[in-house]
Amino acid sequence: MRPRSLGLLVLLCLLILPVQAATQCALTATPLLVASEGLTEPIGDILLSCYGGAPLGLIKGSLQISVSRRISNAIDDSGYMQGVTFALQTPVGYTNLPVTVRPLDTSILIENFQFNMTAQGTFLVKVSGIRTETGGTTQAYVQWLTNEQLPIPSPITTVGTSQTSLYATTLAASVYGTGPPVPQYLDFDNMIASGAGMATTRVTEGFGSAFVRRVTADTTNGMRVMIRLAGVPAGANIMAPDAIAGSSAAIPTSSGQFGTNPTGGLYNPLAGNTLLLVRVRGAQEDGSGGFVVWTPSTGPQVLFGVGEIDYQGTSPYVVYEVVDASSTTLESAQIPLWLFLPTDQFITEGLVTQTVSLGPISTATGSVAGAPIPRYRAATVTNDCKILGDCNANYFPRMEITPTRTPEEFTAPSGSAAQSGYVLVHNIGGGLLQWRVLSRYGNGAGWLSIANPSGMNNATVRFDVLPKSLPEGVYEADLVFQNVNPYNGSVDEQLVHVKLTVTAPLPEPPPPAPAPAITNVVTPGSRWGMPFAPGALVTLLGTNFTDQTTVTMQGRPASVVTLTATELTAQVPADLTPGQAAVIATNSGSASAAYVIDIAAISPDLLFILNAGGETNSVDQPAETGKTLQLFLTGLGSAINPIQVRIHDRWMEATREPTPQLGVEVLKVTIPEDLPTMQSDTMVCAQVAQNVDGVCSSAKNIWLKGTNQ
């Protein structure tokens, strides 16, 4: 009986207990379009609408939300997540409930909430402020951990989609020379009037709500735009506007390089949500930190302020923060930077280019203590001209090439020297054209050489065809001219076709004649050395003299009289003046080293002696006394008559007479009759003027025969 009584008691208790309601929850969200470059982008609000519960039933516990991307909200000192709110719908709107948000490995746990259902057994809660990395579509999985069973039949919802948020066009600056000096007053108009080189960056958002200003307490800054410069010469000053009015402003800031007149712009906050960028001073290299240099007031303001950028490290950069923007209008902005070169240093031609990114840039993923919010991954920024529809505008550079000869065809024997052609490159648009030239071979390789394969704006490109190592045949190639930075996004190539016909090689030329060498220069008669007189004969001793050998003395040609392979006699040019003269012998273009000789006004040299009958004076043919003796000389130069002749110990006078032999003169004297038969000697002395010491030849042997013997 006792067991049966216990069963009835349990059944009775169950019948008098209230029946639990069957609560159901519906999960919905408002997906947000966010920057695909972002590491801390907000996702859409998550809504949980529940019904079928007990009237005024108490709900308490936790809510777990898992997201398909890393959650990246900031973490406070206690280890709890910041920025996430949990709100209950009330008759007067949503009311934030006091909760703690604890980060888990791949999700968050919203804890310690407590609230009552409505009298109808319903409630609606909203979770806001979750930030995640981005990429494609982001989804959330939601589940209750509460005192009530709150099933969610469809616990997954889409909370975000990502899209590229930043596009940009950069117009590089060419730098050359010095200065100009920085104006005394830094404002927009003075920058334009200074004539300084300008590098302009135009930024455009990828969708209407991409540019985001700082609007929530959990952020450290608004979205930032970073511009990093390359190629800036050392010592240059870089100036940047303090504020930039975007395309939606009353008067947008314009650099003057995109088809509109330059102006600092006009910003009117009363117009409501128009794009305004303000320069950040003191920003770190990653774009974080620092402070905006200008705060707008309540009325319309002309933007004229300019300041020198400050940066850390070796690469100049400038950072702008989005201070105001529209969430519906696609906006863009022009950011000019002015480059003032050193005034005391000449800068050779160079190029200053820009790299654009969102900022701060970071590699820190997930929730990172102390990291800036928002922050962005580094990404290549695409040109914005397709978005704005101006890719073919005439303010962008356009390349035109013109060959100087058409067609570009060359003919040359195999093994011959290079031949050159030329192509003119012109920028027929605006801005700065950067170009390069490549070789694209149809057959063969390495037979085209480009002298200047890259450059800026207008230039003449020289190319050489090189038949030296090519066998006979026809060779074809294209010179490919490329616009390095085409603004329409497509490869801008223009071709010049080059054709080279290589014919049979030319016969081998004969080997060059060996170069002569001069080892000494002497007088032909006595074989003494220097000096030598103008018009005199001289003898060159050396090697490799040939029938083609020519001689110059001090650059003037000298007549060659006789030569062998090792000895050459030539006449000193008559117009040489006293001093030194370089003697050079040449064989068909192969020249000797210079041999320096001294030139004097007179330097007599006895060549040979003939007796009265014309025979050479010798031991076997002595000259008879009382008869004529003929002395043949060279080197009398500018000597005056009479010439002094000594035979044995007797002096006599003679007058110089010309001979048919080049450079040779003759003196005729009578041998004193009283001289006996003997061997003696003779010499000749001459003067250039009266009362001036004479110059004598070396003595030469003679043989005499007395009259009575």
Element (DSSP H or E) covering residue 285: none
Round to whole Å and give the CA distance between 255 and 154: 54
* Higher per-residue pLDDT: 487 or 30: 30
In the chain, % of residues over pLDDT 90: 79
Which pTM was predicted? 0.68
Inter-residue long-range contacts of 7-15, CB under 8 Å, 24+ positions, other chains counted: none
For residue 204, give the amino acid letter: T
Percent of the chain scoring above 70 in pLDDT: 96
Residue with tokens 């030569």: 563
pLDDT of residue 197: 93
Check whether 461 has a pLDDT greater than 80: yes
pLDDT for position 116? 96
Angle at 40 between CA 39 and CA 45, to 5 degrees: 135
Q: How far apart, in whole angstroms, are the C-alpha atoms of residue 33 and residue 43? A: 8
Do the strands 156-163 and 32-35 form a parallel or antiparallel pair, or are they unpaired? parallel
Determine what percent of the chain falls in helix, strand and coil, rounding each to the nearest 5.
5, 45, 50
Please, is 544 exposed, middle or buried when counting C-beta atoms within 10 Å of its C-beta (0-12, 13-18, 19+)?
A: middle
Choice among 60-74, 311-325, 453-467, 691-705 with the minimum mean pLDDT:
311-325
Quote the CA–CA distance of 474 and 503 in Å, as a whole number.
9
**pLDDT at position 709:** 61
User: pLDDT band for position 510 (50/70/90)?
Assistant: confident
Could you tell me if 663 and 535 are in contact, meaning their C-beta atoms sit under 8 angstroms apart?
yes
Q: What is the mean pLDDT of residues 410-416?
A: 91
Residue 207's Cβ-count burial label (10 Å; 0-12, 13-18, 19+) is middle
Rounded to whole angstroms, the Cα distance separating 449 from 417 reads 13
CB 147 within 8 A of CB 19: no
pLDDT at 509 (0 to 100): 76
How confident is the model over 32-70, as pLDDT tens digits? Answer: 999 999 999 999 999 999 999 999 999 999 999 999 999
Residue type, 661: Q
Distance CA 612, CA 704 (A): 12
Name the residue among 261, 259, 272, 253 with its Cα closest to residue 332.
253
Q: How far apart are the first and last CA of the chain?
A: 198
d(CA 214, CA 161): 21
Bridge partners (DSSP) listed for residue 199: 337
Q: Is 183:307 a contact under the CB 8 Å cutoff?
A: no
Residue 145's pLDDT band (cuts 50, 70, 90): very high
Strands (E), 165-235: 166-171, 173-177, 197-205, 224-230
pLDDT value at 311 more than 80: no
d(CA 654, CA 667): 6
H or E element in which residue 2 lies? helix 2-16
Whether the ω angle into residue 374 lies within 30 degrees of 0, i.e. cis, is yes
Confidence of residue 10 (pLDDT cuts 50, 70, 90): very low
Partners of 506 in the β-ladder: none
- Decide if pLDDT at 9 tops 70: no
Are 243 and 305 in contact by the 8 Å Cβ rule? The answer is yes
Residue 665: what residue type? E
Tokens representing 53 are 């519960």
pLDDT value, residue 312: 63
What is residue 430's predicted lDDT score, i.e. its pLDDT? 87
Question: Could you give the CA distance from residue 265 to residue 246 in angstroms, rounded to a whole number?
Answer: 8
Query: What digits encode the pLDDT tens for the residues 369-392?
Result: 889 999 999 999 999 999 999 988
User: Distance between CA 394 and CA 135 in Å, rounded?
Assistant: 37
Angle among Cα 157, 162, 163 to the nearest 5 degrees reads: 150
Q: Which domains does the chain have, with CATH numbers?
A: 19-163 (2.60.40), 166-388 (no CATH), 399-503 (2.60.40.10), 517-599 (2.60.40.10), 605-705 (2.70.50.70)
Comparing CA positions, the residue from 90, 82, 87 lying closest to residue 98 is 87
State phi, psi for 470 to the nearest 5 degrees.
Answer: -95, 140
pLDDT band at 17 (very low <50, low <70, confident <90, very high): very low
Q: Is the pLDDT of residue 561 over 50?
A: yes
Q: Identify the DSSP state of 327.
A: S
Beta bridge partners of 703: 679
DSSP 271: G
Is pLDDT of 449 > 50?
yes
CA distance 613 to 55: 165
C-alpha separations of 424 from 439, 460, 654 in Å: 16, 5, 78
At 575-612, the pLDDT tens digits run: 999 999 999 999 988 899 999 999 999 999 999 999 99
Per-residue pLDDT, 15: 35
Q: What is the mean pLDDT of residues 292-307?
A: 94
Q: Quick one: pLDDT band at residue 14, thresholds 50, 70, 90? A: very low
Chain-centroid distance, C-alpha 55: 77
Residue 21 has pLDDT above 50, yes or no: no
168-220 per-position pLDDT tens digit: 999 999 888 999 999 999 999 999 999 999 999 999 999 999 999 988 888 99
| Mean of the per-residue pLDDT values of the chain | 91
Residue 314: the pLDDT is 65
